[in-house]
Amino acid sequence: MTSPVQLIRPRRFGDARGWFTEVYNRDTFAAMGIETVFVQDNHSLSAPVHTLRGLHFQTPPRGQDKLVRCVRGRIFDVAVDVRRGSPTYGQWVGAELSAENGHQLFVPIGFAHGFLTLEPDCEVSYKCSDTYAPDHDGGIRWDDPALKAVDGEAGGIAWPMPAGVEPELSAKDRVQPLLVDFDSPFAYDGRPLAPLA
């Protein structure tokens, strides 16, 4: 059984001109257990280093699977299990995605998603399985101390920021609820979160 959140490392084919890669191929993804149909592509620019966007999701029936990649700079990308009844509820996994490594993170419905920029002028592109629905927009606090690593202790997400540095946040992300105050509408599908392979 595969973990619901997956780190994907597309192969690059290079020569003297540069390289080519397949970002998404329906058949390849289906072989990995990802049968999502994507209907919207988003692209963001975060100018200041240590910009933090998250932790976000859309609630049912407008939930979104996401396929996230960084096309300029570097980010630390995170997914938090918010599926009611999950044995890994409140646990997170994270990975560095960069323009250089080309890695992608698949974040399914039932997970809060966020990222921290590690360089100035980061651009992030991600595919979604549903269009934006503001009435279903939700989130939890980026710095909730109750969150714990999937293979570690509680104490919050280990965002890679220097001590004493505060991230750049939107007004919305400053006031998201804590996990303890969140009544999850997401159901557990029988697949616990696992460390990223």
Q: What is the 3-state secondary structure (H, E, C) of the chain?
A: CCCCCEEECCCEEEECCEEEECCCCHHHHHHCCCCCCCCEEEEEEECCCCEEEEEEEECCCCCCCEEEEEEECEEEEEEEECCECCCCCCEEEEEEEECCCCCEEEECCCEEEEEEECCCCEEEEEEECCCCCHHHEEECCCCCCCCEECCCCECCCCCCCCCCCCCECCHHHHCCCCHHHCCCCCECCCCCCCCCC
* pLDDT tens digits along 108-118: 999 999 999 99
**Is 70 exceeded by the pLDDT of residue 1?**
no
**Is 90 exceeded by the pLDDT of residue 32?**
yes
Residue predicted with more confidence, 143 or 2: 143
Determine contact, residues 5/85, Cβ cutoff 8 Å: no
Token representation of residue 57: 């999701």
| pLDDT recorded at residue 102 | 97
Find where tokens 């651009």 sit: 123
pTM reported for the whole predicted model: 0.95
List Cα–Cα distances, 14 to 19, 21, 23, 99, 102, in angstroms. 4, 9, 15, 15, 13
**Is 90 exceeded by the pLDDT of residue 17?**
yes
Structural domains of the chain, ranges and CATH numbers in brackets: 6-181 (2.60.120.10)
pLDDT band at 82 (very low <50, low <70, confident <90, very high): very high
**Is 90 exceeded by the pLDDT of residue 3?**
no
pLDDT band at 13 (very low <50, low <70, confident <90, very high): very high
Active site residues: 56, 126
| pLDDT recorded at residue 197 | 84
Query: Amino acid letter at 162?
Result: P
> What mean pLDDT is reported for the chain?
96
| pLDDT recorded at residue 2 | 80
pLDDT band at 151 (very low <50, low <70, confident <90, very high): confident
pLDDT band at 137 (very low <50, low <70, confident <90, very high): very high
Token representation of residue 69: 């990649």
* Residues 81-103, mean pLDDT to the nearest whole number: 97
| pLDDT recorded at residue 114 | 98
Token representation of residue 7: 């780190």
pLDDT band at 174 (very low <50, low <70, confident <90, very high): very high
* Residues 60-72, mean pLDDT to the nearest whole number: 98
Please tell me the distance from the alpha carbon of residue 36 to that of residue 34, in angstroms, as a whole number.
6
